[in-house]
Each structure stands twice: as C-alpha cells, then as structure tokens.
Amino acid sequence: MSEVNTLERLAALIRSRRSDTSGKSYTSQLLTAGTERCAKKFGEEAVEAVIAAMGTDTAALKAEAADVLYHLLVLLESRDVSLDEVLKVLDGRMGTSGLEEKASRTKGAS
Ligand SMILES: N=c1c2ncn([C@@H]3O[C@H](COP(=O)(O)OP(=O)(O)OP(=O)(O)O)[C@@H](O)[C@H]3O)c2ncn1[C@@H]1O[C@H](COP(=O)(O)O)[C@@H](O)[C@H]1O
C-alpha cells in the first residue's frame, strides 16, 4: 500500500536524522531536544489539525494532518518505538469492532 510505504519511508528518514550532525535538520533538532519537546510539538500540531477540521479549508486540513503524522513519527522515534510496532497494534484490532475494543479496555481497567 503506497500510504504505508510513505509512512515507512518517512519513519526511516526520521530515524536516520538521529545521527545527523549537520545542524541543518529540523528533525535532528527535535530529537536532540528530547521527548518532552517532541510531545509538545505533536500536541500543538494536533490542536492545529482540530482547528482546521472545524473550518472549511480542506487543503489546510490535509496540510495539518500531514504535520500531525510527521510529528507523531518523530515522537515515536524519540521513545524508540517503531512505526511497525504501532501498526502491529492496529493489525491486532482488525476484525474486532471499535465497541468491543472499548469494552475490553474498560474490563481491563477494573
Ligand atoms: N514532513 C516533514 C515536516 N512536516 C512539518 N515539518 C516541520 O515542522 C515544523 C512545525 O511547524 P511550526 O509551524 O510549528 O514551525 P516552527 O515554528 O518552525 O517550529 P518550532 O520552532 O516551534 O519547532 C515546521 O518547521 C515544518 O517545516 C516537517 N519537517 C520535516 N518533514 C520531513 O522530514 C524530512 C527531513 O527533514 P529535516 O530533518 O529538516 O531534514 C523532510 O524531508 C520531510 O520529508
């Protein structure tokens, strides 16, 4: 699937930025700043996506959604969690309904 390939390629690019010392990589700056900084940026971009979703500019929503995906991948990289590991969680949920998933979480929490 091309969508997954794009995310996988981006995740690999982000990982490679860990060892970038050129000083020209925004990703490298974020990773060097640490998880708290990455999480803050992710939160900001998520809020911007929410605001765009409430508006009528579809191009703006697509751009904000792309920012969210990029910043999520940077956040995961900062915690050494791979995209593949997250996709496996999603794969594990396939075939169950969202409501069943919700019920099993509620059960697990009690
Ligand atoms: N997909 C992205 C991407 N999406 C968003 N951004 C950056 O995320 C930042 C967030 O937007 P803001 O408006 O908050 O910008 P800002 O004020 O500059 O950010 P801060 O100073 O607050 O951190 C912008 O600087 C965007 O350029 C991205 N930066 C990089 N990528 C990808 O990562 C690759 C590697 O980038 P570098 O690490 O910079 O080489 C690029 O080739 C792209 O494929």
Range of the domain at 53: 2-79
At residue 2, the pLDDT reads 58
**What single letter denotes the amino acid at residue 32?**
T
Note whether residue 69 is domain-resident: yes
Here the CATH number for the domain that contains residue 41 is: 1.10.287.1080
Question: 67-87, pLDDT tens digit by residue?
Answer: 999 999 999 999 999 999 999
Note whether residue 86 is domain-resident: no
At residue 44, the pLDDT reads 98
Distance 26 CA to ligand 1 centre (A): 6
Note whether residue 102 is domain-resident: no
This prediction has a pTM of 0.89
- Mark the ranges of the chain whose per-residue pLDDT is less than 70: 1-4, 108-110
Choose the residue to mutate in 17, 26, 48 for probing ligand 1, maximizing ligand atoms within 8 Å of C-beta.
26
Q: What are the structure tokens assigned to 8, written together?
A: 């996988």
At residue 15, the pLDDT reads 97
Give 82's DSSP letter.
-
Nearest atom of ligand 1 to the alpha carbon of 29: 38
Please enumerate in sequence order all residues whose Cβ is within 8 A of that of 82, keeping only pairs 6 or more positions apart, or say none: 11, 76
